[in-house]
Chains A and B, each alone.
Chain A
């Protein structure tokens, strides 16, 4: 499953007349500014290593000047890296000859640009055909595949328009279709949605994810927007001054910021839209299992022991049956109604592990009982209680 597609090892890109001069200084640990002052060379990418697995969206995030655009351009060698390996399915891109590189780009990469990079003198159809034209695909096949790609991004009927007649969002759809048409193994997306206004941006992100549900392409996605990174990324790397300062899954980035730089990013994130039920759920301290002969007395005992006022009841398959409150349990004892335990168990709402906190707010607000998180088979995965919701909403972890 986790098949490595891209592996980058110790990549360096230094701009300037004598890049080699900068290496000893980098080794000494001097900062980007100091190196610029001493040698006149700018460090673009500084010792970057990462791997991307098949079908993964690897997001590189950073402010402008952090080297993220340089990094993506080194991958397909629009910029020549100074040192380091770029292995794409065991081919070292940095060692390819000009000719080999040309053919490699044709087969492997589809690139999407921040300002779309559309050819203004070509129609939408012809723009989308470009990659195929370069590959010398037959005109009839070319046309067909371009039309399919245009259809996928929802631009049917616009084939004969010039890019100047399209809105920003539509232009980027053309850019996307152009990359889709060649059906590459790897997508390189350089801030594809950064030039779009927020509403269109959200729409495009949704569409991208929708497209990815059909075919998951290995992707390197550059952005400066953490919300976008968290939305589309499977794995996120945060760059600063040419270095990757932290790399990990969404939760890792959000919950364990490696340093102040990352913390500054994370601070502004609307966590309620990012954190999902599965990220904030906790393991229930205890459960009531009537199928194992546990009755109201066990329930009261368990609740007292754990200082809780209600207990989730599950059957032998761990399926949630409902909740038993302490008052109800006491009532059973008063009425001596042990056989009808099921009558006292209350039905409760459940949430999906993929629901964001935003989705769950209505339920959480009225929460005085735990909210069970269940999978497709109604099996209990964890619970959400008010206190951990609140602690997760706070920008810094409150302990």
Chain B
């Protein structure tokens, strides 16, 4: 069985956020699974996400979970609901905590995490990188 995460992680390495859409029921999902969690179908097509989403929750981390993150605190870990429907964990960048609210419109960027991973992060719409 191929790793269901592989297409997503390969996309991340190229600064692309692609979602697995079910070829039967048409719905996308995250986190990636071998079968569509909505209908159980195993045939999935990976398509580019719009990169638009809204803020579903967040937490500003003040205490690093390990020394790797110590230089970065405080940082904002967030849950973002993508325009296509699925939700993922990410970070919100370039936004003070006071500006955060549920439903805040966000757009996709990519950033390198302290462990070296290239990962999607989000910034408020209209804030340029």
Does A pair with B? no
Question: A residues bordering B, Cβ < 8 Å?
Answer: none
